[in-house]
């Protein structure tokens, strides 16, 4: 019979404002796969838009690396219908599609948006080695071509960010019907997870080491906090709503929506240390004990759901010249002390603070390991983190 294994997952970001529109455009999304199976299905979503999202035509195929084209393109339907309509706030899986895939077969999903639709949210990645997208004028769902316009060209809204993202609209997951025993691992956190600079090399290493036997899913949201929902920020598009619900609130919903992960890697807390101070919200400045209590709740929930959960200390952050830095750093140090003292509550512990900090100044991240802001790991920093995770547990 087999079972459905999820091979790809990102959390749709609610920007709270229109990020752009598509009309008579095809979106193509390349997705890394590591499972064997004979059927696939796509999770469609329209969680935050104002209007019904109409997908006029959807296909899925396999990416031929050698030929540089999409092959074995199959039509995707929902309840037998080629035109798929998604109500605001809704999410569901397509009908199953007969497509034999090996763990070496990456997938390409093509969606044609004929009618103009305004988007308020979509899935995003920056590292773009687990998925990446392109946009093509007209109906190109049966075209073997993959490369086209970038996300920022299709959605100029995202040009505000100097770090270039890839986005996927109207979809947030893919499953493969497999007969293999598969370990599912979820990475949960904030922008450090969401941007995927450690997630992607971790994925590549684990997929190479365990072909067909492990799937890695991303549950990160940039700006997310453990204890507090998104705060109002005047200078950010959508005024900060993109930061999402508090980690303690969204954990069960986002992690256990349609999977039962074997392993969860939890890395969050830096925004709790800084946001209340940086954005002038006195009631949202926690101490380390409050943050540890939130992490403890998440550990308990993971164990209640029979998952193993691995935790880490909070890595150094930038805010080099900000007047609140010393107070924020005090919160981080207090939290990290509590994580180290109580590490036995989790199923695994990794001290990424110690690994990523400067030996000569433990309050800052190593040079050459971040995007220039002192907080977000770059490709080199991501590889270092991924190697530490693999070396500790795999």
Strand partners, 166: 125
- Name residue, tokens 């569901």: 92
The reply to whether 264 and 386 lie within a common domain is yes
> Is the predicted pLDDT of residue 202 greater than 80, yes or no?
yes
In the prediction, which pLDDT does 173 show?
98
Domain count, the chain: 2
- Give the residue from 270, 260, 95, 88 showing the smallest Cα distance to 190: 270
The secondary structure of residue 317, as a DSSP letter, is -
Do 159 and 230 reside in the same domain of the chain? no
Distance set, CA 132 to CA 156, 164, 167, 212, 301 (Å): 17, 11, 7, 21, 32
pLDDT higher than 90, residue 235:
no
- Single residue among 176, 201, 228 that ends a domain in this structure: 176
Q: Please list the alpha-helical segments (H only) found in the chain.
A: 151-154, 191-194, 199-209, 247-255, 270-278, 288-304, 325-341, 352-356, 379-393
What are the tokens at 81?
């219908």
pLDDT at residue 352, rounded to an integer: 98
Do 165 and 23 belong to one domain? yes
Rounded to an integer, what distance in angstroms lies between the CA atom of residue 342 and that of residue 392?
18
Domain limit, last residue, from 176, 200, 233:
176
d(CA 252, CA 172): 17
Q: The domain containing residue 351 runs over which residues?
A: 181-393
Which are the contacts of 144, defined by CB distance < 8 A and separation ≥ 6?
A: 69, 70, 71, 73
The CA distance from 85 to 78, in Å, is: 9
Q: What is the pLDDT of residue 221?
A: 98
User: Do residues 107 and 174 lie in contact, with contact meaning Cβ atoms separated by under 8 Å?
Assistant: yes
Average pLDDT taken over every residue of the chain = 97
Residue 249 lies in a domain: yes
- In a domain? residue 8: no
Beta strands in 65-106 (DSSP E): 69-75, 84-86, 90-93, 97-101
**Whether 191 and 170 share a structural domain:** no
Task: Clarify whether residues 171 and 186 are in a common domain.
Answer: no
Is residue 289 exposed (0-12), middle (13-18) or buried (19+ Cβ within 10 Å)?
exposed
Tell me, yes or no, whether 64 lies in a domain.
Answer: yes
Looking at the fold, whether 265 and 353 belong to one and the same domain comes out as yes
Does 6 reside within a domain? Answer: no
Is residue 99 in some structural domain? yes
Q: Is 218:199 a contact under the CB 8 Å cutoff?
A: yes
pLDDT in tens, 43-82: 999 999 999 999 999 999 999 999 999 999 999 999 999 9
CB 19 within 8 A of CB 241: no
Last residue in a domain, options 150, 176, 202: 176
CATH number of the domain that 243 lies in?
Answer: 3.40.50.1110
pLDDT of residue 358: 96
Structure tokens at 201: 């090399």
How far apart (Å, rounded) are the C-alpha atoms in residues 332 and 262? Answer: 29
The three-state secondary structure class of 50 is coil
Mean pLDDT (whole number) for 193-200:
98
* Nearest-angstrom CA–CA distance, 203 and 2: 23
pLDDT at 1 over 90: no
* Domain contains 7: no
**Range of lowest pLDDT (8-12, 171-175, 263-267, 321-325):** 321-325
Taking CA atoms, 106 is separated from 7, 9, 71, 99, 200, in Å, by 10, 14, 11, 12, 14
Confidence of residue 148 (pLDDT cuts 50, 70, 90): very high
Q: In this structure, are 168 and 185 located in the same domain?
A: no
In a domain, 25, yes or no: yes
Shared domain for 267 and 348, answered yes or no, is: yes
Residue 5 lies in a domain: no
Number of neighbours of residue 321 by Cβ within 10 angstroms: 6
| 231 and 338 assigned to the same domain | yes
The 3-state DSSP class for residue 294 equals helix
pLDDT value at residue 170: 98
Q: Give the whole-angstrom CA distance, residue 9 versus residue 277.
A: 32
Hey, how many other C-beta atoms are within 10 angstroms of the C-beta on 22? 21
């Amino acid at each position: 019979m087999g079972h459905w294994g999820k091979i790809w997952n990102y959390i749709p970001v609610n920007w709270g404002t229109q990020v752009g529109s598509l009309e008579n455009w095809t979106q193509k999304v390349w997705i890394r796969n590591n499972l064997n199976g004979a059927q696939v299905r796509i999770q469609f979503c329209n969680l935050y838009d104002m209007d019904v999202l109409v997908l006029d035509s959807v296909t899925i195929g396999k990416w031929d690396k050698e030929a540089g084209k999409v092959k074995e393109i199959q039509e995707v339907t929902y309840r037998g219908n080629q035109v798929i309509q998604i109500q605001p706030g809704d999410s569901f899986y397509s009908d199953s599609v007969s497509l034999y895939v090996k763990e070496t077969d990456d997938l390409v999903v093509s969606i044609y948006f004929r009618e103009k639709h305004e988007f308020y949210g979509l899935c995003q990645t920056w590292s773009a080695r687990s998925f990446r997208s392109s946009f093509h004028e007209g109906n190109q769902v049966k075209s073997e071509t993959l490369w086209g316009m970038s996300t920022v060209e299709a959605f100029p809204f995202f040009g505000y960010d100097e770090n270039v993202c890839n986005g996927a609209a109207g979809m947030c997951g893919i499953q493969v019907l497999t007969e293999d025993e598969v370990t599912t691992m979820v990475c949960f956190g904030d922008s450090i997870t969401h941007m995927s600079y450690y997630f992607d090399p971790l994925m590549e290493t684990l997929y190479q080491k365990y072909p067909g036997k492990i799937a890695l899913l991303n549950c990160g949201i940039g700006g997310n906090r453990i204890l507090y929902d998104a705060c109002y920020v005047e200078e950010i598009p959508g005024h900060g709503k993109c930061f999402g619900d508090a980690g303690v609130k969204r954990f069960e919903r986002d992690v256990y929506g349609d999977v039962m992960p074997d392993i969860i890697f939890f890395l969050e807390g830096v925004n709790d240390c800084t946001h209340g101070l940086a954005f002038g919200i006195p009631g949202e400045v926690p101490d380390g004990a409050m943050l540890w209590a939130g992490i403890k709740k998440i550990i308990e929930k993971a164990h209640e759901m029979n998952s193993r959960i691995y935790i880490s200390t909070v890595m150094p952050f930038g805010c080099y010249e900000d007047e609140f830095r010393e107070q924020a750093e005090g919160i981080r140090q207090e939290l990290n002390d509590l994580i180290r003292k109580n590490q036995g509550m989790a199923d695994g512990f990794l001290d990424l603070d110690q690994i990523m900090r400067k030996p000569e100044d433990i309050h800052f991240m190593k040079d050459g390991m971040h995007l220039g802001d002192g907080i977000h790991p770059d490709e080199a920093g991501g590889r270092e983190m991924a190697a530490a995770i693999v070396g500790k547990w795999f």
